[in-house]
Amino acid sequence: MTTIVQHQAALRAGPTTSADLVDAALARIEAPQGEGARVFTHVYADQARAAARAADKLRAAGLSRSAIDGLPISIKDLFDVAGETTLAGSVVLQGEPAASESAVIVKRLQAAGAVLVGKTNMTEFAYSGLGINPHYGTPKNPWDRATGRIPGGSSAGAAVSVSDAMAVAGIGSDTGGSVRIPAALCGLTGFKPTARRVSTRGALPLSVNLDSIGPIAASVACCAQLDAILAGDDASPLVAARLAGLRLAVPTTVVLDGMDAHVATSFAASLTRLSAAGALVTEIAVPAFSESQAINAKGGFTAAEAWAWHRALIARASERYDPRVVSRIARGEAMSAADYIDLLGARTRWIAEVEATIAGYDALLLPTVPVVAPVIADLVASDEAYFRANGLILRNPTMINFLDGCALSLPCQAPGSAPVGLMVAGPALSDKRILAIGLAIEARLRNAP
C-alpha cells in the first residue's frame, strides 16, 4: 500500500496532484460494484474537491501544512462536524440537533490540510468489535470478499476505506480495540494511543474512562504522523528502535488461548524472526490478565457509562437500536454506584499489578485477535455465534484499554494469506517508544524471508 511519505513524494515531484488523489478516492467510493455505499454514511464530495484544489495551490506556492496536506482522509461517524447531526452508525439520532462545532480532532486534521472525504460506517454507537451494522450495511473485509467476512469493529468503515484506497488513512476510536481489531482483520496498521493524549471533545462517547482516538493506515510511520497531528504533538520524524537487545515479553496468561491455526502459526513465525534479529523474546505469566473477566463481569465501565449516556434515549426509542447493541448497553442499568466505585478501585490496583509485572520489558507482544475474520452471515444468523465471536475478538485489545496503555497492531501474516495482527503494547504514555519499536518490528517482518 502507498504510505503518506510516498504520497507526499509523488505530490512534490509532480506525477500527481491532490485533486487527482481525491478524484480517484471519490470514484472508488461511488463505484457501484465496490463497498463505498457500506463504508461511508456521508460523503463530502464537493468540499473534498475544493479542499484538494486549495492544497494544490498552496503546494505550487511552496507551502505545506503537514505530512497529510492534500491527502484524502476519512473520519468515523462519531466525530462532530459543525452543522451536521452525528449519527454514530445509528438511526436513533436522526433528526437530533446538528453539532455547533467540529470535534477537536476534526479541527486538527483540517488545520493540517487533510482532505476529509467522508464519515465512515461503524458498529452502532461503537459497541461491538465485529463491525456489523443492520442499519447501513456491513462493509466486507478485503480478504476473501467473495465469502463476505467481517471487517472488524467498531471502526469498520475506517479500515475498509483504507484497504480499498478510498482514503489514505481513516481515523477511528478505540474503547476496547475498535481501531486495532479492524486493522488486524483487514491487514492494516492501527494505533491506539494513551487515551489522555488525544482530546475526545466532540466525539460521541462510549466509555469516558476507556475511549481513545487513533489512526488506521498503511504503515507504522503513517500512524505516527497522524497520531502527532491528532494529539497536537511535535511532528518530529519517528526513528526506529534497535531490535537487537530489545526485551519483548509475550504474555502466556489468557491472551494466547483460543488461537486458530493460522493465527498461531503467523504469530510464532513473527516471534522467530524477531529473535533471529537479536530481540530478547521472553514468555511471561501476567496473573492479573486472568482477573480481568471477573473484574468486568457486570459490564465494566463500558456498560455503566454507555447506560448513563443512552438511558433517556433508550426510554423513548429502544426499538430503533440494533437489539444486540441495546442489550449490552442495558446491562449498565443494574450497576450500582457502589459497583462503579469498586470498579474504579479494582482498575487502579490491576494497572499497578500489570505495570509491576512488565516493568523490566520494552514492550508486550501478543496476537491482536486470536482468529481470522469470521463470516458475516454466520454471525448475523445467530446471537450465540455473534456474542461468542465478539467476546473472543475483543478480549486481547481490551486488556490494553483497561491498562490505560497504548498499542499498535501491524500485519504479521505470510504474503497472500489471511490477515493477522501482531500487537505491540506498553503502559500509559509509552506511545513514542511503542511506535519506535513498532517501526523496527515492521521493517523486520516485511523484509524477512
Catalytic residues: 76, 154, 178
Give the amino acid at 267.
F
% helix, strand, coil for the chain, step of 5: 45, 15, 40
Question: Could you give the CA distance from residue 208 to residue 305 in angstroms, rounded to a whole number?
Answer: 7
Pairing of strands 72-76, 115-120: parallel
| C-alpha closest to that of 185 among 369, 390, 2 | 369
Q: How far is CA 150 from CA 289, 294, 372, in A?
A: 27, 28, 10
H helices present in 166-260, as ranges: 180-185, 220-231
Question: Could you give the CA distance from residue 362 to residue 45 in angstroms, rounded to a whole number?
Answer: 44
Give the amino acid at 420.
V
| C-alpha closest to that of 418 among 192, 185, 118, 169 | 185
Q: What is the DSSP string of 415-444?
A: TTS---EEEEEESTT-HHHHHHHHHHHHHH
Q: 53: which 3 cell numbers?
A: 484544489
Question: Could you give the CA distance from residue 405 to residue 197 in angstroms, rounded to a whole number?
Answer: 11
Q: Are 112 and 132 in contact (CB under 8 A)?
A: no
Q: 300: which 3 cell numbers?
A: 465494566
Pairing of strands 213-217, 115-120: unpaired
Question: Could you give the CA distance from residue 106 to residue 110 in angstroms, rounded to a whole number?
Answer: 6
Roughly how many angstroms between the first and final C-alpha of the chain, as a whole number? 19
Pairing of strands 72-76, 247-251: unpaired
